[in-house]
């Protein structure tokens, strides 16, 4: 279709109506519950739980922790790999190790599993490396052959949809192809195509041609699960499968069709954004969490902490609105000092002292990396800069002497490192969302502060005022 922006109102009249069935999600849940299978979501940053609730996320993948997850009644669990923050060789190692450990525990328990490789709804991340590594390792161990791998980057809560096999972001009354956004210019994961078939060819460096992709159109999805199942049953050779979807009703049809095809012996692996897991896992809708669920019990007199590492433009605008709209204490981390070994320790020490002082006095604090993006020519170098900045933000959290009333971490690398290295989380419970697409973890017993809510705020989600509104809701 056209590579330019598309008016939503101009295409609405052309769309077929959604397939009408009010109970697919419940049927999917029941099929999953009676099946002998786990849906294991490998999350390349901590924001992928942004559509689900009442599931666990593991930040490590040793066999002991995996056994616990396999033996729990829930079908779905997440493993935070944080691979979007790493170099390719480490990404491959992590995926290989997870495949080995999961396969070992599956063999022990007699419980089957399927992998969902959760990536970014704006097409950033290590595709095809992650799904290729999982496929290769499972084939080496078990001889497993996948019939197809589904590519479903839709994330409705943030206006990311796929139509005519092209991926879009909703902006007002327009659908903007993702290759025209700042995300396509990412220093590490940039790309040139919004047409997902062409994107597959681009990302596989021509190994898979765009013509080799199977496309399930919106018309086919909205013809119901039987039509979709027929297409799925005819796919083989691990072909890429691209699915049009504009709503959860569309994904529910797809998920139901997938379960039917899987029951007939078909095998699939998935590269998706967050919305697909909710449908495929049969996870019911839940209201946005009330204020009481966002505050650490017994810590109401303390200040809250917001940690901002993300450098996307949306985050910078959200930070500006937060600073304008509240009396939150603003502490800027000078990235030039953090990158200078002679100044790094003093800059970190200054911030640690100030954060502890203000939180103890009941003042909310936002710590943020200086907004001027420091970039180098190589993607590896840019990742290293991000990791160095994140390490210093983590040290601040790790050095907290007092439990904040609330903790919000903004950005994928930042929120992952704060969770695992700052708060020491090994396993957390996802209790729901603070706002659409903004997940809340409840920290485990092993954490620095146990049993407190931890708000994981993606860098590229929400309007310019969503961060402000979240803090105001907590304070309201």
- First and final C-alpha spacing in the chain: 46
Q: Are β-strands 174-177 and 6-7 bridged in parallel, bridged antiparallel, or unpaired?
A: antiparallel
Residues of the chain with CATH 3.40.980.20: 291-475
Averaged pLDDT, groups of 10, the chain, 476 residues long: 78 90 90 96 94 98 98 98 94 99 99 98 97 99 99 96 97 94 93 98 98 98 98 99 98 98 98 98 98 97 94 90 98 92 95 98 95 69 77 94 96 89 97 96 96 92 95 94
Q: How far is CA 116 from each of CA 8, 145, 431, rounded to the nearest angstrom?
A: 30, 16, 20
6-280: which CATH architecture?
3-Layer(aba) Sandwich (3.40)
179-216 burial, b at 16+ Cβ within 10 Å, e below that, comes to bebebbebbbbebebbbbbbbbbbbeeeebebeebbbb
- Do 452 and 442 contact (CB within 8 A), yes or no? yes
Specify the pTM: 0.93
Task: Delimit the CATH 3.40.50.10840 region(s) of the chain.
Answer: 6-280
Q: What is the pLDDT of residue 1?
A: 54
Per-residue confidence (pLDDT) for residue 198, from 0 to 100: 99
- What 19-22 contacts at long range (C-beta under 8 Å, 24+ apart), as own/partner pairs, is 19/221, 19/222, 19/223, 19/224, 19/225, 19/249, 19/250, 19/253, 21/252, 21/253
Residues forming a β-bridge with 7: 174
Say which CATH superfamily domain 291-475 falls into: Four-carbon acid sugar kinase, nucleotide binding domain (3.40.980.20)
**Residues pairing with 74 in the sheet:** none
């Amino acid at each position: 279709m056209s590579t330019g922006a598309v008016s939503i109102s101009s295409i609405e009249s052309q769309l077929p109506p959604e397939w009408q069935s009010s109970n697919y999600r419940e049927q999917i849940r029941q099929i999953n519950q009676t099946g002998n299978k786990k849906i294991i979501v490998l999350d390349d940053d901590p924001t992928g739980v942004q559509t689900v609730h009442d599931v666990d996320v593991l930040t490590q993948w040793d066999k002991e922790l995996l056994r616990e997850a396999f033996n729990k009644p829930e079908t779905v669990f997440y493993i935070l790999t944080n691979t979007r923050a790493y170099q390719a060789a480490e990404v491959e190692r992590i995926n290989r190790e997870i495949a080995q450990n999961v396969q070992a525990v599956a063999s022990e328990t007699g419980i089957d599993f399927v992998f969902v490789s959760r990536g970014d709804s704006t097409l950033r991340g290590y595709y095809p490396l992650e799904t290729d590594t999982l496929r290769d390792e499972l084939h080496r161990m078990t001889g497993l052959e996948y019939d197809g791998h589904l590519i479903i980057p839709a994330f409705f809560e943030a206006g990311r949809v796929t139509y005519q096999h092209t991926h879009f972001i909703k902006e007002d009354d327009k659908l903007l192809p993702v290759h025209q956004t700042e995300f396509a210019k990412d220093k590490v994961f940039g790309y040139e195509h919004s047409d997902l078939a062409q994107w597959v060819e681009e990302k596989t460096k021509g190994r898979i041609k765009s013509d080799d992709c199977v496309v399930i159109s919106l018309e086919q999805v909205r013809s119901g699960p039987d039509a979709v199942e027929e297409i799925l049953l005819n796919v083989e050779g691990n072909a890429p499968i691209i699915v049009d979807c504009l709503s959860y009703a569309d994904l529910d049809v797809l998920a139901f069709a997938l379960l039917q095809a899987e029951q007939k012996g078909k095998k699939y692996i998935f590269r998706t954004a967050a919305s697909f897991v909710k449908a495929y896992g049969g996870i019911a809708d839940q209201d946005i969490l009330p204020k009481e669920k966002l505050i650490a019990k017994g810590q109401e007199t303390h200040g809250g902490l917001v940690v901002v590492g993300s450098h996307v433009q949306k985050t910078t605008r959200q930070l500006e609105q937060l600073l304008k709209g509240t009396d939150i204490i603003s502490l800027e981390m000078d990235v030039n000092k953090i990158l200078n070994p002679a100044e790094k320790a003093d800059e970190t020490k200054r911030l640690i002292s100030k954060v502890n002082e203000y939180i103890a006095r009941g003042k909310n604090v936002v710590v943020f990396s200086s907004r001027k993006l420091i970039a180098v020519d190589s993607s590896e170098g840019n990742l290293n800069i991000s990791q160095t900045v994140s390490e210093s933000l983590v040290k601040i959290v790790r050095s907290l002497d007092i439990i904040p009333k609330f903790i919000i971490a903004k950005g994928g690398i930042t929120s992952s490192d704060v969770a695992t290295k700052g708060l020491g989380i090994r396993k957390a419970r996802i209790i729901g969302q603070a706002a659409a697409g903004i997940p809340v973890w409840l920290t485990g017993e092993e954490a620095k502060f146990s049993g407190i809510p931890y708000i994981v705020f993606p860098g590229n989600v929400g309007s310019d005022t969503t961060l402000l509104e979240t803090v105001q809701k907590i304070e309201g």
